[in-house]
């Protein structure tokens, strides 16, 4: 079976439900965005929003995708950087328990955390302290890291280190891996537009974007127009449209995938799990439509729980449905 390697910001997700959106205004956090904050601001966010408790999980966009693939039985590895602290130990142990090969470098800096504020309508807003995660550098990467893997999944959040992301993409490409990129956040795309377009056109085989990210990436286009524009740069394009489902383009063919109706509690990890389901389908040689259907199903299941992880019983249900879709 083919193996998948992921690389991203190694972050511990700290998930906090908020009673209303007033606190977002108090903290100057635009709803639905991902804002980078320093250690002091991270502490302030936790103090303001964590009064009613929080849930911890090893996270980061690419790590969520890799976790889901591992839960589906795929052999996986993950490259990241953590601190020599409680948070870093938590992250590494969570990977090992999930049968993921951790390729984790260590730093004297504190491990990164992603503080997710979950609004009553289930939208999440991130205040992210990158910490040690941001210290992962191009010099930390080696060709050997990519040996034995067939797919490489990377998150757009890494674009704050352009040398790192370009080196990783070049090494993956050189070693013959199929490359998938999740654009991550509309504000990340806006701030790094030319660079991301260049990387996608040169190295990315599978591009994932939601509506806002696609609009930023294409210079204001939406729906099929955005999909067609992105398909000029990448072999397979996935446009996630929330409650409207998703649109895919491959071999000049547009495929629409219906959404799966669920009771949404928290959208954390929805796009990451979609990517996992889609890549799982590709690994098994399924049609693009079935890849999208599995992605849509996993995306729906994860928003029924708080956080980017599902329990064993839910995964058993997922395995059964994935087999049904695949057949």
Q: Using an 8 Å Cβ cutoff, are 80 and 158 in contact?
A: no
Residue 61 CA to its chain's centroid (Å) = 3
- For residue 235, count other CB atoms closer than 10 A to its CB: 14
Give the residue-averaged pLDDT of 104-129.
91
Give the residue-averaged pLDDT of 206-222.
96
User: Per-residue pLDDT for 261 more than 90?
Assistant: no
Look at residue 105 in the predicted model and tell me its pLDDT.
Answer: 96
- For residue range 268-295, list pLDDT tens digits in order: 789 999 999 999 999 999 999 999 999 9
Give the residue-averaged pLDDT of 116-135.
90
CA distance 44 to 71: 34
Q: Which residues pair with 17 in a beta bridge?
A: 118
Look at residue 306 in the predicted model and tell me its pLDDT.
Answer: 76
Give the fold, CATH level 3, of 4-10+59-111+131-326: 3.40.1190
Q: Where are the domains of the chain?
A: 4-10+59-111+131-326
- For residue range 132-190, list pLDDT tens digits in order: 999 999 999 999 999 999 999 999 989 989 999 999 999 999 999 999 999 988 888 99
Looking at residue 175, the DSSP 8-state letter turns out to be: T
Look at residue 185 in the predicted model and tell me its pLDDT.
Answer: 85
Look at residue 82 in the predicted model and tell me its pLDDT.
Answer: 97
- Cα-based distances in Å from 192 to 126, 196, 204: 19, 6, 16
- For residue range 9-58, list pLDDT tens digits in order: 999 988 899 989 999 999 999 998 888 899 899 889 988 887 677 888 88
CA distance 139 to 241: 37
């Amino acid at each position: 079976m083919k193996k998948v390697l992921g690389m991203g910001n190694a972050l511990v997700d700290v998930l906090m439900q908020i009673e209303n959106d007033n606190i977002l205004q108090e903290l100057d956090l635009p709803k639905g965005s991902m804002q980078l904050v320093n250690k002091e601001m991270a502490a302030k966010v936790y103090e303001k929003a964590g009064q009613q408790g929080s849930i911890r999980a090893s996270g980061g966009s690419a790590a969520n995708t890799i976790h889901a693939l591992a839960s589906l039985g795929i052999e996986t590895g993950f490259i990241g950087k953590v601190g020599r602290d409680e948070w870093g130990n938590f992250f590494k142990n969570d990977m090992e328990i999930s049968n993921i090969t951790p390729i984790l470098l260590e730093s004297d800096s504190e491990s990164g955390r992603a503080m997710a504020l979950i609004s009553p309508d289930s939208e999440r807003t991130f205040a992210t302290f990158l910490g040690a995660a941001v210290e992962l550098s191009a010099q930390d990467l080696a060709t050997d890291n990519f040996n034995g893997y067939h797919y490489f999944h990377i998150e757009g959040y890494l674009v704050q280190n352009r040398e790192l992301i370009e080196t990783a993409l070049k090494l993956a490409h050189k070693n013959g891996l199929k490359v998938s990129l999740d654009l991550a956040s509309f504000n990340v795309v806006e701030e790094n537009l030319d660079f991301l377009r260049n990387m996608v056109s040169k190295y990315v085989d599978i591009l994932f974007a939601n509506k806002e990210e696609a609009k930023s990436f294409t210079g204001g286009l939406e729906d099929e127009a955005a999909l067609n524009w992105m398909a000029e740069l990448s072999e397979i394009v996935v446009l996630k449209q929330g409650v409207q489902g998703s649109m895919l383009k491959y071999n000049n063919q547009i495929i629409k995938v219906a959404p799966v109706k669920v009771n949404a509690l928290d959208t954390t990890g929805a796009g990451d799990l979609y990517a996992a389901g889609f890549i799982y389908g590709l690994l098994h040689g399924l049609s693009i439509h079935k890849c999208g259907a599995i992605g849509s199903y996993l995306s729906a299941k994860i928003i029924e729980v708080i956080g980017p992880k599902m329990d064993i019983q839910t995964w058993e249900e997922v395995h059964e449905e994935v087999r049904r879709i695949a057949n």
